[in-house]
A and B are shown apart, each in its own frame.
Chain A
Amino acid sequence: MTLKSFGSVLFFLVVLAALAFLPFYAGEYVVTLMIGMTGYVVLATAWALFSGPTRYISLATVAFFGIGAYTVSVLSETLPYVLVLLAAALVGLVVALVVGLATLRLAGVYFVIFSFGLAELVRQLVTWYEVNITGTLGRYIFLPVTSDGIYWQLLALAAATLLFSWAIGRSRLGLALKVIGDDEVVASHCGINIAGVKLALFSVSAVIITLVGAIQAPRWTYIEPSMVFNPTTSFLTLIMALLGGVDRLWGPLLGAIPLFLLFEWLSANFPNHYPIILGLIFIAIVFVLPNGVLAAAERIFSKRRGVTVPAANQGGAL
């Protein structure tokens, strides 16, 4: 390990520790805020894990998020908490594998539409099941998990997700991932199992997203499909990742933090105009920063020619 990378690891650990101790010196409001923010950091990073290299724009984020939350609401009374989380991850994995096998052949805009449809389909299925079979619409979650506990779990998940992304980026697979969005045919001539790589990434990303939903679920006490399957979650995740830049490790994180704070402030101060402002911000980001802030900063600071333009394509697909 070189001195520089040792320094970065140390810095990462210090920041992580400082964040972990946050509940001891910050108030309840800050912890609540941090839960939301950390949740979106994980969502955006997990989203970019799959959608960054493959350039498959997924709007199915909320499908897995909601599956996680619902699994917890169904099983919270029957299983110990750790097993509930495991069960949620397992359900997310199974759905991701089935959906992935069926749809990763779709390309471009078809996948976008399908993923959006998937989220709606899951929501309608859950609603139908609850109304017709169980006879209720909402469910209560009574779990002895404090907001500090939720925060720490999300923080650990965020660290694990970033670590995983970082490890993949340095691996042989990481190099392969850089190119499968470029030219799948040539990538397959390099001996890369394209279908396998895409399915694996989609599944890992989906499981992480499912866990975010599962961990956050106890916060609400009462959930119903329209809450946990709200499509805005998918759009926010997408735009945060795009703002930061999907092809860099820290991109989604750097997009998630400012946008989350901005959205919090907007929804508190302009509750009626919030959706309109949200839409304008979406458009502005796609037009002004199609490659994300990190890429824009790199372009300004370096004169290197021929920088990648993946996010521009994604902007076009929206």
Chain B
Amino acid sequence: MLEISHLSLHYGRHLALDDFSLSVGKGETVVILGANGAGKSSLLKAIAGVTPADKGTSISFNGRPIHSLPPHQIVEAGIALVPEGRGVFGDLTVDENLALGAFAKRARAHANDSRTFVYELFPKLEERRRQYVNTMSGGEQQMVAIGRALMSKPDLLMLDEPSLGLAPVVVGDLFRSLGQIRQRGLALLIVEQNVKMSLSIADRGYLAEAGRITGEDAATSLLSTPAVQRAFLGGAA
């Protein structure tokens, strides 16, 4: 569904992504693992069209090239991003945030169904639908951010460090919700430092290091790979 080949990205002279190639299949959950500076966030920004990739890059979605589209048309194509650090509008209520999520033309007709789904997924949001988002906890704001992204009726949902700054208990809930989203047939592309949690819901994973992809395998095998154990799971655990 999402096919990326030869994706490179420079910030000025700094090379952030060096010839990335990866793919996400229909309904598949893929995790990108890597330390800070591995290029994970840059990858999602390049796909979402926020940061333009270098020449020679090819990104296609459902068979259609999208690497030269502006961000709002990429949303129309069916890709939603939950950016790092939430990406909610604190001065608006939960309901208003969700309404904005359905701004894309592809999403408008389905706004009611999408809202029902979001409230099923996060019942707490329905209780607080009229509350201003900047008065909510970090975990609740993350729910709003994910809900907002789901409102655009995406085929692929991308999440940038969704567990960042959340309490361990909340992280568990978050990944359970992501598992439910996955069961609805959405494809997920997750960038995470919480390796155990993210691999537990993923089909496949890529390892990224200093702007390059250094490995790729099924999620279950990655969990027992020595390189992953060494780098992320604290040695011979």
Contacts and interface: CB of A to CB of B under 8 A. Distances in A.
A183 B87 contact: yes
A193 interface: yes
B75 A305 contact: no
A165 to B, nearest CB: 19
Nearest to A196: B72
Contacts of B89: 178-179, 182-183, 186
Nearest to A195: B70
Interface in A173-203: 175-176, 178-179, 182-183, 185-195
B132 A191 contact: no
A172 interface: yes
A144 interface: no
A191 B103 CA distance: 6
A193 B72 contact: yes
Contacts of A187: 100
A304 to B, nearest CB: 8
A304 B132 CA distance: 10
Given A189-B87, A190-B148, A175 B107 contact: no
B114 to A, nearest CB: 13
Nearest to A307: B91
A308 interface: yes
Interface in A270-318: 304-308
B91 A176 contact: no
Contacts of A182: 89-91
Interface string B93-118: 00010011101110100000000000
B34 interface: no
Interface string B125-163: 000000010110000000000001100100000000000
Contacts of A308: 91
B69 to A, nearest CB: 11
Contacts of A190: 72, 75, 100-101, 103-104, 148, 152
Given A183-B89, A306-B90, A191 B83 contact: no
Interface in B150-185: 152
Interface residues of B, number: 31
A179 B92 contact: yes
B25 to A, nearest CB: 23
Nearest to B152: A191
B135 A192 contact: no
A227 B92 CA distance: 43
B116 to A, nearest CB: 19
A170 to B, nearest CB: 13
Contacts of B18: none
Given A189-B48, A189-B71, A191-B76, A172 B87 contact: no
B51 to A, nearest CB: 10
A305 B148 CA distance: 22
Contacts of B107: 191
Contacts of B103: 172, 175-176, 190-192
Contact of A186 (B87, B134, B135, B152): B87
Interface in A4-22: none
Given A185-B50, A306-B132, A193 B70 contact: yes
A165 B203 CA distance: 49
A89 B153 CA distance: 40
B80 interface: yes
Contacts of B91: 178, 182, 306-308
B48 A306 contact: no
Nearest to B75: A191
A176 B70 contact: no
A179 B83 contact: no
B83 to A, nearest CB: 6
A303 to B, nearest CB: 12
A190 B87 CA distance: 10
Contact of B92 (A172, A178, A191): A178
Nearest to A172: B103
B81 interface: yes
A305 B72 contact: no
A188 B149 CA distance: 11
A187 B88 CA distance: 9
B88 to A, nearest CB: 8
A175 B96 contact: yes
A313 to B, nearest CB: 12
11 contacts: A176-B100, A185-B50, A186-B89, A187-B100, A188-B71, A189-B50, A189-B83, A191-B104, A195-B70, A305-B135, A306-B91
Given A186-B87, A190-B75, 17 more contacts: A172-B103, A175-B99, A178-B92, A182-B91, A183-B89, A185-B50, A188-B71, A188-B72, A189-B80, A189-B81, A191-B75, A191-B152, A193-B72, A194-B71, A305-B135, A306-B90, A306-B134
